[in-house]
Amino acid sequence: MSSQNNPTNGFNGEDSPLIQTKNLYKSYFNEGLETKVLFDINLTINKGEFVAIMGPSGSGKSTLMHILGFLDNHTEGEYEFHGKAARTMDEDMLAKVRATRVSFVFQAFNLLPRASIYQNVMLPLIYHPIIPAEERDSRVNKAIESVDLTDRTNFLSNQLSGGQKQRVAIARALVTEPELIFADEPTGNLDSASGIQVMKVLQDLHDSGHTIILVTHEQSTAEHADRIIELFDGRITRDTEEFKTRWAVDEDKLMK
Amino acid sequence: MLGIIIGVGAVVLMTGVGKSVEGVILGQIDFMGPQTMALFPGNEGPEGGNSSMRPDFDAITFSDTEALKTLTTVKYIAPVVFVPGNAVYGREETDPRIAGSTPEYYLNQNIEVTEGRFHDQKDEEASNSVVVIGSDIAEDLFFNQSAVGKRMELANKKFTVIGVLKPVGMVFFQNVDDRIIMPLSTAVAMTGRTYADMVSMQAVDDFDIAFEDVRALLRQRHGITVPEDGSTDNDDFLVRSAAQAEEILGTVSISLTVFITLIAGISLFVGGIGIMNIMLVSVTERTREIGLRKAIGAKRKDILLQILLESVFLTLIGGCIGIVLGIGLDFLISAAVNKVLSEYQFAISIGAIFLALAMATVTGIVFGVYPAKKASELSPIEALRYE
């Protein structure tokens, strides 16, 4: 994992949870009008978890993922990553976190259309502050291999099918070996067969120790995860982890 | 893009042409020698005045020219008297410029004969009817057959050709190969002149000192008072030199350069705005790409640099096209002018090419900054959401 080969991480290390939010709120302001999107989000996610954030469209699940992935800022409350508050990070620090610790798989793939698979997967390494240039090639090839696209390495990304594109996007997310992979509706633009394939790749990643946060509105997709957090109108309405712990507490009470 | 091409092309072309013209002019000055001076009667008068208002054509008398010989700073003093008339040989007739002058004339004009000899002091003393003719005259009247010893008629008087001058071509845009030179005494006898139409001479050493000496002597002899501002307004003569002509041409070439630089500057400015628009459109079109790059860890600086490099790349392409076009046009112009003026040689300025590339780069940077800054300040999530 990159946290081990990153001597200047500036984080509190492994004792703190990977992700912790305390009374997190998010509002958008448009021409002086405030639109509240997230209310009082309290969430702890530990390393190695496979979490699905579920909810209908407009529930705020994507916004929550963008905040957790350092693509967007929250309005109130605290978001701590390895115990370090996101609001204390400056622009360069945020760019560094995005480059080294988190990565994204988007619904719309967001590949560079006129670049080859190889170039697309290479892209994050260009901005990676630590991985040396001579390691790039082997890392790219390894990432492409892990999504089973080695025979198409030099294809342009606009020559690929949707499922293949999403696998390239996953390879791109893997290549820096981040601690945390965000997948935003990764099967949303895919037929069911490709969707199953992509979910299998994510499943394999989780099995090999990656922390994955999946955003989806489909129950069937969410069920791949170990833990499901449901959002509705910007509030957490269900968290299977909490349910488990609450259940455990109740069990304790029952035992007494 | 077009603006960049025009701007860079203009700079390359004009510096090339300028260099060629400079080569021609310097060649001519070299030929005459920068020490060559000429003294003319009359004065252009105060600025804006007109020489025809002061007809001092008889101002420089032969006693003046004799007096000039006492100066140690000038040598080869040769008074020149022009003789009107046609040159006739057999049925052939031509309209040359006929001048009478002393043998010193050949010395201060750096001219040579290809055939025969110059006239000498003996011809001068005896007022012999002999002439030295320019190469064009030899061609027109004698069809390149040996002209020496032939008898020709000048202004209805018989002359013997004793020499043919080596072809010179254009000197200050005037053909000098159509001249005929006879002894000064012969010309004076024909015209009854007591004054010189011009005096040709050379500075011995420093041109400026020679210039001042000649002026002081003539002012003293002509009783001219110098106005308080030290101007030449009251003079009834003019002194000119090759070096001065070079200066004047230098001034012309400087103003030409300023003009071209202005055109190039405007073109580059317009081109730069074009590049800025291209980059702004490109940034807008690629908003999602920029968002993605930021999402995977690109810093502001990375995006800024990327857009700037793209902008510089665009202007450099324009610059290279401009350089090729500029050199091509320069070559065509040279080929055309060379047919008329053989001294005009194709020339390009390597310095100008580097300057042009530098200008293209600077344009790319200056006009790329705004789009680059705009792109780098995009919020990653806003950019990714952009449709």
As a whole number, mean pLDDT of residues A216-223 equals: 88
Question: A96 CA to chain B: closest CA distance, Å?
Answer: 6
A96 at interface of B, judged by CB pairs closer than 8 A: yes
Average pLDDT, integer, range B254-276: 81
- B76-124: pLDDT as tens digits: 888 888 888 888 888 888 888 888 998 888 887 778 888 888 988 888 8
What pLDDT is stored for residue A7 in this prediction?
A: 41
How far does the CA of residue B369 sit from the closest CA of chain A (Å)? 20
**What secondary structure does DSSP assign to A218-232, as a single string?**
-HHHHTTSSEEEEEE
pLDDT band at A245 (very low <50, low <70, confident <90, very high): low
Which chain A residues in 117-176 lie under 8 Å from chain B, judged by CB atoms? Answer: 123-124, 127-128, 172, 176
Confidence of residue B127 (pLDDT cuts 50, 70, 90): confident
Arithmetic mean of pLDDT, B12-27: 77
B387 part of contact set with chain A, CB < 8 Å: no
pLDDT of residue A120: 94
How close is the nearest chain B Cα to the Cα of A178, in Å?
A: 11
Q: What pLDDT score does B173 carry?
A: 58
Domain locations along chain A: 19-255
pLDDT at A229 over 90: yes
pLDDT digits (tens, 9 = 90+) for A89-146: 998 899 999 999 999 998 888 999 889 999 999 999 999 988 998 999 999 999 999 8
Domain map of chain B by residue range? 2-27+246-385, 43-235
Please give the average per-residue pLDDT across B311-330, as a whole number. Answer: 90
- Inter-helix orientation angle A162-174/A192-207, to 10°: 20
Q: Say whether pLDDT at A205 is over 70.
A: yes
Mean pLDDT of A1-29: 69
pLDDT given at position A171: 93
| Average pLDDT of the segment spanning B328-356 | 83
Task: Decide: A51 and A206 in contact? Cβ < 8 Å.
Answer: no
Match domain A19-255 to its CATH number in 3.40.50.300, 1.10.1200.10, 3.40.50.1820, 3.40.50.620. 3.40.50.300
Enumerate residues 274 to 303 of chain B having a beta carbon within 8 A of any beta carbon in chain A. Answer: 288-289, 291-300, 302
- How high is the pLDDT of residue A252? 57
* pLDDT grade for B28, boundaries at 50, 70 and 90: low
pLDDT reported for residue B45: 56
Q: What average pLDDT does this structure show over B178-191?
A: 89
pLDDT given for residue A2 in this prediction = 42
pLDDT of residue B104: 87
For chain A, what percent of residues have pLDDT higher than 70?
88
> What average pLDDT score do residues B264-278 get?
84
Average of per-residue pLDDT across A33-59: 91
Confidence grade of residue B51 (pLDDT, cut at 50, 70, 90): very low
Per-range mean pLDDT, top range of A237-251, B10-24, B341-355, B359-373: B359-373
Q: What pLDDT was estimated at residue B50?
A: 46
